[in-house]
Amino acid sequence: MTTAGGSPHAGSTGATGEERYRAFVEQSAEGVWCFEVDPPVPTEWPVERQLEAFYERSTLTECNDALARMYKAEDRGQLLGARLADFLPAENEANLAYLREFVARDYRYMDAESQEQDRLGGTHYYLNNLVGVVEHGALVRVWGTQRDITRIKELEAQLSRSQRLESLGMLAGSVAHDFNNLLGVILSCSELALEATAEGDPRREDLEQVQEAGRRATELTRQLLAFGRQQPLRPSALDLNEVVEGTASILRRLLPTGCELVLDLSDRLGTVRADKGQLEQVLMNLVVNARDAMPNGGTITVSTQDLALHDAGVSAPVSSPSGRFVRVAVTDTGTGMDEATQQRIFEPFFTTKEQGKGTGLGLATAWGVISQSGGHLRVSSAPGRGTTIQFLLPVAVD
Ligand SMILES: Nc1ncnc2c1ncn2[C@@H]1O[C@H](COP(=O)(O)OP(=O)(O)OP(=O)(O)O)[C@@H](O)[C@H]1O
Ligand SMILES: [Mg+2]
């Protein structure tokens, strides 16, 4: 790069090209690194033999501080001398596939995504550019740059999850809508037929069973309509503390001994606009789930808090506007959930409970009610560490 006058940029400082390069690499926000392969690995070897040799012969000989920060090392000195397996353990098939691809692409692999652990055990996604240096038919070193894209990946996953729920909701809602009309006909006709059938007629029992099945199906379609955000809501101005306190006595009756319900309510909450009956149902679903996750008892805490979406610890979902929200969180000390379960809990009919115990509609309806009210539903959990499910509703009035 040259200035308008044509003199080199850094020339005035007297830095050499090598020093300028080094300053750039050291200050770059991208992680920059070099693995030396010693002795070099012949490129004519079968791929699997090359991979084995990479693991045996590669050492990190250069890197910048940005790379050290990405792996939560104190400085680059802590990383220098590391082996390939410290970054891409060979036990993980995905890492081997990554290296095979590097070879297949003639030792130049651009925009390659890797999933790696930092030194504290945290999982990160990186976007990498790898350039291998081949001399006399053998790979002697690999240069690379990488960027941490973990946050972007999380937002992508969040977006695709909410898009999946939206489209599932649309489908479920429209099917439920048609079913509801059909069920209306079935229930009213069977009612008429029942009235026209004399007491003691054996056909009465059949008709009563038709009616009972019709009522159960109506309840299911009502839940699906809620999930599809097609349920008529009757919003009013609400103090969520009052809603929680009002529901607490009913909730306590649902809990066995050994299972305690604690309220932790903030004394200053904005007012929200929502359907009171539906919110009580949502609270009930969350508390029942918490109870079911604590077969040996424990504590369920329902807390309320007024917060702005930028507050620490709360990241804005991709599609949500920021602003003031009231948060209601239901926390339990139960079994918790692994990542795969958390990804699916808001889907209708997703349940891990044994047959007859759960239909998998509790959280799906909660998701529908909260989204239809302009709010958000979130989960945070880890196996053995309990669960918090929280919903945020926008503050309507101060
Ligand atoms: N607090 C929690 N702790 C652990 N797992 C939970 C918790 N809440 C929900 N889950 C998991 O999410 C799944 C779905 O929950 P959801 O309430 O939608 O359905 P369900 O409880 O299985 O059935 P239903 O609510 O229809 O009776 C549960 O089966 C369970 O695996
Ligand atoms: Mg449930």
How many whole angstroms from 188 Cα to the centroid of ligand 2? 31
Q: In this model, does residue 317 exceed pLDDT 60?
A: no
Position 264 confidence tier, pLDDT thresholds 50, 70, 90: very high
Look at residue 8 in the predicted model and tell me its pLDDT: 46
Look at residue 13 in the predicted model and tell me its pLDDT: 57
CB burial of residue 325 (10 Å; 0-12, 13-18, 19+):
buried
Dihedral angle, C-alpha 327, 328, 334, 336, nearest 10 °: -40
Q: Classify 9-148 by CATH class.
A: alpha beta
How many whole angstroms from 89 Cα to the centroid of ligand 1? 35
- For tokens 């941490």, the residue is 148
DSSP track, 307-339: EETTSTT-PPPTTPPPSEEEEEEEEE-S----H
127 - beta bridge partners? 113, 147
Q: Which ligand is nearest to the CA of 291?
A: 1
Residues enclosing ligand 1, CB less than 6 A? 285, 289-290, 293, 332, 334-335, 337, 341, 345, 350-353, 358-364, 387
Q: Which ligand is nearest to the CA of 359?
A: 1
The predicted model gives 360-366 an average pLDDT of 96
DSSP track, 218-271: HHHHHHHHHHTT-S----EEE-HHHHHHHHHHHHHHTPPTTEEEEEE--S---E
Residue 293's closest CA among 261, 254, 335?
A: 335
DSSP state of 132: E
Look at residue 18 in the predicted model and tell me its pLDDT: 87
Residue 396's closest CA among 267, 304, 271, 279?
A: 271
How many whole angstroms from 371 Cα to the centroid of ligand 1? 18
Residue ID of nearest Cα to ligand 1 atom 9: 289
How far is Cα 33 from Cα 146, in angstroms, rounded to an integer? 9
Choice from 251, 346, 363 to test ligand 1 binding pocket (greatest atom count within 8 A of CB): 363
Look at residue 14 in the predicted model and tell me its pLDDT: 66
Strands (E), 49-89: 58-63
The predicted model gives 207-233 an average pLDDT of 93
Choice from 294, 333, 345 to test ligand 1 binding pocket (greatest atom count within 8 A of CB): 345
How many whole angstroms from 355 Cα to the centroid of ligand 1? 13
How many whole angstroms from 361 Cα to the centroid of ligand 2? 7
How many whole angstroms from 351 Cα to the centroid of ligand 1? 6
Q: Could you read off the pLDDT of 280-301 as tens digits, one per residue?
A: 999 999 999 999 999 999 999 9
Query: Do 308 and 323 contact (CB within 8 A), yes or no?
Result: yes
Residue ID of nearest Cα to ligand 1 atom 28: 351
Look at residue 16 in the predicted model and tell me its pLDDT: 86
How far is Cα 320 from Cα 396, in angstroms, rounded to an integer? 16
Domain spans in the chain, listed from the N-terminal domain onward: 9-148, 153-227, 236-397
Locate the ligand 1 atom nearest the alpha carbon of residue 350 and give its number: 14
Q: Could you read off the pLDDT of 247-260 as tens digits, one per residue?
A: 999 999 999 999 99
Locate the ligand 1 atom nearest the alpha carbon of residue 389 and give its number: 1
Residue ID of nearest Cα to ligand 1 atom 10: 289
Give the pTM. Answer: 0.74
Q: Could you read off the pLDDT of 3-62 as tens digits, one per residue?
A: 444 444 444 456 788 888 888 888 889 999 999 999 999 999 999 999 999 999 999 999
How many whole angstroms from 305 Cα to the centroid of ligand 1? 24
Choice from 227, 351, 377 to test ligand 1 binding pocket (greatest atom count within 8 A of CB): 351
How many whole angstroms from 258 Cα to the centroid of ligand 2? 20
How many whole angstroms from 362 Cα to the centroid of ligand 1? 7
User: What letter represents residue 60's amino acid?
Assistant: L
Query: Do 375 and 393 contact (CB within 8 A), yes or no?
Result: yes
The predicted model gives 114-132 an average pLDDT of 95
Q: Could you read off the pLDDT of 172-195 as tens digits, one per residue?
A: 999 999 999 999 999 999 999 999
Distances (CA, A) of 174 to 168, 213, 216, 259: 10, 21, 19, 39
Mean pLDDT across the chain, nearest whole number?
A: 91
Look at residue 59 in the predicted model and tell me its pLDDT: 98
Choice from 289, 352, 353 to test ligand 1 binding pocket (greatest atom count within 8 A of CB): 289
Q: Which ligand is nearest to the CA of 351?
A: 1
Q: In this model, does residue 113 exceed pLDDT 90?
A: yes
Quote the crossing angle between the two packed helices 47-57 and 93-104, to the nearest 10°: 110
Q: In this model, does residue 117 exceed pLDDT 50?
A: yes
Q: Which ligand is nearest to the CA of 385?
A: 1
How many whole angstroms from 358 Cα to the centroid of ligand 1? 8
Dihedral angle, C-alpha 216, 218, 224, 229, nearest 10 °: -150
Q: In this model, does residue 112 exceed pLDDT 70?
A: yes
Topology (CATH) of 153-227: Helix Hairpins (1.10.287)
Q: Which CATH number fits domain 236-397: 3.30.365.10, 3.30.565.10, 3.40.50.300, 2.60.40.420?
A: 3.30.565.10
Locate the ligand 1 atom nearest the alpha carbon of residue 289 and give its number: 8
Look at residue 374 in the predicted model and tell me its pLDDT: 92
Position 321 confidence tier, pLDDT thresholds 50, 70, 90: low
Look at residue 398 in the predicted model and tell me its pLDDT: 57
Look at residue 236 in the predicted model and tell me its pLDDT: 95
